[in-house]
Structure 1
Amino acid sequence: MNQPAPHTLRAVTGDVTAASVRGPALAHEHLVLDLDQRGDGAAVLDPRRHAAAVTAELSALREEFGLSLVVELTCRGMGRDVRALAAIARAAQVAVVAATGWYYEPFHTPEIDACDVEQLTEVLVREIEEGIGTTGIRPGVLGEIGSHGDVPTAPEAKVLRAGARAARATGLSLATHAQLGRGGLAQLELLTGEGLPAHRVSIGHQDLLDDPGVHRELAASGAYVAFDTVGKSSYQSDRTRLRLLLDLMEAGHADRALLSCDISRHGYLLDEGGQGYGHMFRSFLPELRAAGADDDLIDLLTRRNPLRFLTGASVEEN
């Protein structure tokens, strides 16, 4: 298999070295998305309507905070459009990593029922090796591969197994969607049972689960613990997120936390009155600093950790 070189990220506009990522990253975002199951168009980021607003936000964050990287976890069945991602990345001058995989069961595509684990693995490996569709753009991460509930359903388990096998075969890392934070330990057991090392796994939406014991167990295993819905106050308050993050760090696991906002509908965009992609920088990180975080810790959480997750390698602090 043609695996990425050490310390190299596969971005939609070409490979970049980890060393070239000098500023913070957003570890779990959506720039283009279609999760509309109600027909109301709410759970959508349509590039024809919203690309300019998304680009403007990322450009502003690059200029103000040095934003250098976005991990874009829109995968198969979620309205993925990697050509639009490449256009946004070029215009915003921010590296964007695209994803492959399948979301949780309500968004599964027909091939999941029709194929076994090995066939699904082949679908993912083909995209990673040859590119998505006819674009030639290759994913740089698997995700957000999902489940809901405390234990994955049979189709979700099939997809998680295929994702783990594809990750092993191609040298990529894997990010999960754990609905409302539940089921992360079961996801990790399934993924590592397929031979994927825990340090190549990020368990998603753990800031929605008020259970520090689970977070500590995930981190102690070597997996990354994603606090990736920062600012989504209808799900959880940032005060609770901060408490959970501080607890994890006080337990000695600062090197296993990932941060992001998971912007997943146009109503979250700044120009539509939402918190925007910059909420983490403008609101949450200042609160973390007020709680005692210094520049080195902020850099660990927002740059070195996501780079280590994506590459599986350590990243120099300078």
Structure 2
Amino acid sequence: MHHHLRTVAGPLDVSGIRGPLLAHEHLVLDLDHAGDRAAVLDPVAHAPAVTEELSALRAAFGLSAVVELTCRGMGRDPRALARIAADSGVPVVAATGWYYEPFHPAEVGASGTAGLTDTLVREIEHGIGTTGVLPGVIGEVGSHGDVPSPEEARVLTASARAATATGLSLATHAQLGRGGPAQLDILTAAGLPPHRISIGHQDLLDDPATHRALAAQGAYVAFDTVGKSGYQSDDTRLRLLLDLLDAGHADRALLSCDISRHGYLASEGGQGYGHLFGSFLPKARAAGLDDDLVDLITRRNPLRFLTGADVEEI
């Protein structure tokens, strides 16, 4: 079986991917609503530092791909992603979809479910704008609170239909870790199988029972804000991850750092994209994770999530 990732440089055969992936990152983004320019990764000002970090992680840890979940309304820049991928030597998977409601562009309110679905399918099949870059994942599709708003529910439904129509998988943004079960209900009701779904930011929700329930239904559980100590300690993240592993769901965990502000870059004194490899995974190994488990969670799981492949095929 040949399974491929859809990267910004074209299809990539997963059989050649031997190192870890970052399952939820941002390389270029603009979430600045207040004018403070903190929630920005600029394609000119910050891209050289981003590129340098990825290149260093490829050399030090074998970083094999980055899943870049900046979507419509988040300052997405496919041409900049293509440059970063080419210059760093790290493949990048670009995304399409819509973030949670405070960041919805006007097109969301102006479109019904069918129109939103068509917008995503068109982008997945023909490329983002005129760039020719094809999205390889739908995400990060957002909601906030325990139940998505009507507009967020419409986006989730449209995104699930587009995923089903195109064969892509879908990653969510569950604001502060809340609303994952409701997201999964909406997505599966729209026809998307749970094993094509990753529920985001679950490391911000200190509720192992919810994580077990999501995994038991077949969805991926993303512990994807590793190193963001302002939201949650890595000690808590590790405890939650170990709980999920102890419950028998190692094949449903995903890990990433969700670098989303330029102050998080290593060059600016932040934790950087490498925090997962340099800090968190050593702690996880000290807590008992062996090489095979680390490989499962950081390589096989994200590849299986993205492609829908069976474990044995990765």
2:155 matches 1:124 = no
- Any idea what SS the aligned residue of 2:297 has? helix
Give unpaired runs (5+ residues) of structure 2: none
Give the letter for the 1:288 counterpart: A
* Aligned counterparts of 2:123 and 2:191: Cα–Cα separation in 1: 21
Following superposition, the deviation at residue 18 of structure 1 comes to: 1.0
* Aligned counterparts of 1:100 and 1:122: Cα–Cα separation in 2: 12
Q: 2:77 maps to which residue?
A: 81
2:192 pairs with 184, 191, 196, which one? 196
8 Å Cα contact 2:227/2:257 also seen in 1: yes
Q: Within 5 A, what are the aligned runs for 1:170-249? A: 170-249=166-245
1:173-215 per-residue CA deviation (whole Å, 9 max, x = no partner) reads 0000000000000000000000100000000000000000000
2:17 matches 1:21 = yes
Moved over 4 A (4+): 315-318
1:164 pairs with 160, 163, 180, which one? 160
Give the letter for the 1:274 counterpart: G
* Aligned counterparts of 1:81 and 1:20: Cα–Cα separation in 2: 27
8 Å Cα contact 2:174/2:200 also seen in 1: yes
2:5 matches 1:9 = yes
* Aligned counterparts of 1:314 and 1:43: Cα–Cα separation in 2: 37
Q: 1:45 maps to which residue?
A: 41
8 Å Cα contact 2:2/2:15 also seen in 1: no
Give the letter for the 2:116 counterpart: L
8 Å Cα contact 1:228/1:260 also seen in 2: yes
- Any idea what SS the aligned residue of 1:132 has? coil
8 Å Cα contact 1:208/1:236 also seen in 2: yes
Give the letter for the 1:130 counterpart: H
Give the letter for the 1:200 counterpart: R
Give the letter for the 1:86 counterpart: A
Following superposition, the deviation at residue 314 of structure 1 comes to: 2.1
- Any idea what SS the aligned residue of 1:222 has? coil
Q: 1:32 maps to which residue?
A: 28
1:292 pairs with 282, 288, 298, which one? 288
* Aligned counterparts of 1:105 and 1:6: Cα–Cα separation in 2: 37
What is the TM-score with the length of structure 2 in the denominator?
A: 0.99
Following superposition, the deviation at residue 316 of structure 1 comes to: 4.5
What is the TM-score with the length of structure 1 in the denominator?
A: 0.98
Give the letter for the 1:16 counterpart: L
8 Å Cα contact 1:6/1:311 also seen in 2: no
Residues 106-115 or 232-241, more deviating: 106-115
Superposed CA RMSD: 1.0
Following superposition, the deviation at residue 287 of structure 1 comes to: 0.4
8 Å Cα contact 1:117/1:162 also seen in 2: yes
* Aligned counterparts of 2:239 and 2:33: Cα–Cα separation in 1: 34
1:104-141 per-residue CA deviation (whole Å, 9 max, x = no partner) reads 00000111111100010000000000000000100000
- Any idea what SS the aligned residue of 2:44 has? helix
Distance verdict in 2 for CA 1:173–1:317, change over 3 Å: closer
Give the letter for the 1:114 counterpart: A
Identity %: 75
- Any idea what SS the aligned residue of 1:49 has? coil
8 Å Cα contact 1:102/1:143 also seen in 2: yes
8 Å Cα contact 2:8/2:78 also seen in 1: yes
Residues 106-115 or 299-308, more deviating: 106-115
Q: 1:91 maps to which residue?
A: 87
- Any idea what SS the aligned residue of 2:46 has? helix
Q: 1:71 maps to which residue?
A: 67
* Aligned counterparts of 1:312 and 1:6: Cα–Cα separation in 2: 12
1:257-293 per-residue CA deviation (whole Å, 9 max, x = no partner) reads 0000000010000010100000000000000000111
Give the letter for the 1:279 counterpart: H
* Aligned counterparts of 1:290 and 1:200: Cα–Cα separation in 2: 31
2:266 pairs with 270, 276, 282, which one? 270
- Any idea what SS the aligned residue of 2:24 has? strand
8 Å Cα contact 1:30/1:264 also seen in 2: yes
Following superposition, the deviation at residue 6 of structure 1 comes to: 5.3
